[in-house]
Amino acid sequence: MSLINIKAIARKEFYHLIRDFRSLYLAFIIPLLLIFLFGYALSLDVDNIKTVVVDHDKTPLSRDFIRKLNASSYFHVTNHLIDAQNAIDYLDKGLANMAVVIPSGWTEDIKADRETSLQVLLDGSDPNFAGLSRGYITSFIEEYNRRQLIDFLDRKGKNKIKPPVEGRIRVWFNEDLESRNFIVPGIIAIIIMIVGAILTSLVIAREYENGTMETIRSLPVRGGEFLLGKAIPYFFIGLTDVLVAVFMGQILFGVIMKSSFWLMVLASTIYLWVALSLGLLISIGTKSQLVANQLAILITYLPSLLLSNFVFPVSNMPEFLQMVTYLVPATYFIDILNGLYLRNLGLNHLWPSYLVLMGMFIFLSIMNLVMLKKEGM
């Protein structure tokens, strides 16, 4: 391996990048845009469920129920409507996410211990939103019930009754339950894939399309040197992107890494090399920029987004796809990021994921060299 050769190839690739100025600055702008969007604009949390109510009962109890509903931090009662049909219109047009219909005679039925029911209509078209809303409304009603019962017993009995069981629920790892805290680290994995794999998937295909691959073959450059030289400029772009993402997450959005910064740099470096070798492999295999690009989106970007435990939990997937997730490098990287960012774990817990990523890198590098050998390098 000759350092001079690697440097020469890297410099050539670097000139390509500089000359293609827009590709270069987009390689920085796109990650910034992503971090900014995810940190500032996108959230999976639900805290302001637009609710319309239809009160056929009109008693102190029904009014109290509505008031408490509005006062809870999750629901916001926007309109009082006259009948259920009205409420359905609101749901149809997307003006409300939830409708609560209180039947007439509701209070009397409750006092007489007769079966009575409150109607709750939820807009289920967004399942994440609806799932959260359903959870909140069920537990709101159950808590309201408990309080009612205790009030009732208090009024009858002499002494105050205490609730028998009280759960002190503490949330760990993401104390404020902000989706930003797990999405911003995850986005680093996506950025690395875009810059590392998708951008590099074009670099060797380009040589084939322009016919310059012949020239390179005739140079006294060996396969490994060629690959390293091609990858190095993108490695530096990728690493810069990661650092920018980490600092932006921390400074602008308060997403703070609990564990060691250097472990993060180490993990990003290994993962970046996995991405780079994947991109180069696609490039050698397809020899066409358009195909390489499509393939790179299909086998690097999408799996990193979908099959990596990033937003969509692996435990919900069918068995077969769960197996596939073990092949996706992002799974391990996101596991590491989750450990470093949220759980304050160190190498003693996370070493298996580091090891797997290393293994993937070595395997992909060998594949690359074999492919290049076939091409006569």
Partner 1 sequence: MNWLRIREFVRKEFIQLFRDKKNRPLLIIAPLIQLLVFGYVVTTDVRDIKVAFLDQSHTLESRRLIDAFDANRTFRITRFTNQSKELEQALLKRKVDLAVKVGPDFGEHIRRGETAFIQILADGSMSNMAAVRVAYTSLVLDRLNRAFIEELYPEKIEYGKIDARIRTWYNPNLDSRNFYVPGIVAVLIMIITLLFTSMAIIREKEAGTIEQLIVTPLRPIELILSKTIPYIIIAQTQMVMVTIFAIFWFSIPMKGSVLLLFAATVLFLLSTLGIGLFISTVSATQQQAMMTTFFFILPFFMLSGFVFPIANMPTVVQWLTYLNPLRFFLTIIRGIFLKGVGLEVLWPQYLALTVLGLIVFTGAVSRFRKRLD
Site for partner 1 in 314-373 (CB under 8 A): 315-318, 321, 338, 342-343, 345, 349
- Residue closer to partner 1, measured from CB, 21 or 262: 21
Q: Which stretch binds partner 1 (CB under 8 A): 237-245, 250-258, 269-277, 286-294?
A: 286-294
**54 contributes a contact to partner 1 by CB under 8 A:** no
**86 contributes a contact to partner 1 by CB under 8 A:** no
Residues 6-25 close enough to bind partner 1 by CB under 8 A: 20, 22-23
Our measurement of the distance from residue 203's CA atom to the centroid of its chain's CA atoms, rounded to an integer in Å, reads 29
Closest CA to 289 of 14, 18, 23: 23
Report the chain's C-alpha Rg in angstroms. Answer: 28
Closest CA to 65 of 143, 177, 9: 143
Q: Which stretch binds partner 1 (CB under 8 A): 150-158, 240-248, 255-263, 358-366?
A: 150-158
Residues 234-253 close enough to bind partner 1 by CB under 8 A: none
**71 contributes a contact to partner 1 by CB under 8 A:** no
Closest CA to 42 of 128, 170, 171: 128
Pick the binder of partner 1 from 82, 153, 256, 370 (CB under 8 A). Answer: 153
Q: How far is the CB of 239 from partner 1 (least distance, A)?
A: 18
Contacts of 6 (CB under 8 A, 6+ apart): 225, 228, 229, 232
Q: How far is the CB of 373 from partner 1 (least distance, A)?
A: 21
Burial class (CB in 10 A: 0-12, 13-18, 19+), 279: buried
Pick the binder of partner 1 from 1, 60, 168, 348 (CB under 8 A). Answer: 168
Pick the binder of partner 1 from 120, 239, 244, 347 (CB under 8 A). Answer: 120
To which H or E segment does residue 109 belong? helix 106-111
Residue with tokens 């604009």: 41
Number of residues that bind partner 1 (CB under 8 A): 123
Tokens of residue 261, six digits:
């910064």
**43 contributes a contact to partner 1 by CB under 8 A:** yes
Burial class (CB in 10 A: 0-12, 13-18, 19+), 211: exposed
Q: How far is the CB of 1 from partner 1 (least distance, A)?
A: 27
Residues 88-117 close enough to bind partner 1 by CB under 8 A: 88, 91-93, 97, 109-117
Q: How far is the CB of 268 from partner 1 (least distance, A)?
A: 19
Strand order in the sheet with 75-81: 75-81, 49-55, 98-102
Contacts of 45 (CB under 8 A, 6+ apart): 132, 177, 178, 179
Q: How far is the CB of 70 from partner 1 (least distance, A)?
A: 16
Q: Is the distance from CB of 273 to CB of 361 less than 8 angstroms?
A: yes
Closest CA to 290 of 356, 209, 369, 349: 209
- Residue closer to partner 1, measured from CB, 141 or 221: 141
Q: How far is the CB of 270 from partner 1 (least distance, A)?
A: 21
**178 contributes a contact to partner 1 by CB under 8 A:** yes
Pick the binder of partner 1 from 78, 79, 86, 148 (CB under 8 A). Answer: 148
Q: Is the distance from CB of 205 to CB of 292 less than 8 angstroms?
A: yes
**179 contributes a contact to partner 1 by CB under 8 A:** yes
Q: Which stretch binds partner 1 (CB under 8 A): 2-10, 78-86, 177-185, 251-259?
A: 177-185
Pick the binder of partner 1 from 221, 244, 306, 369 (CB under 8 A). Answer: 306
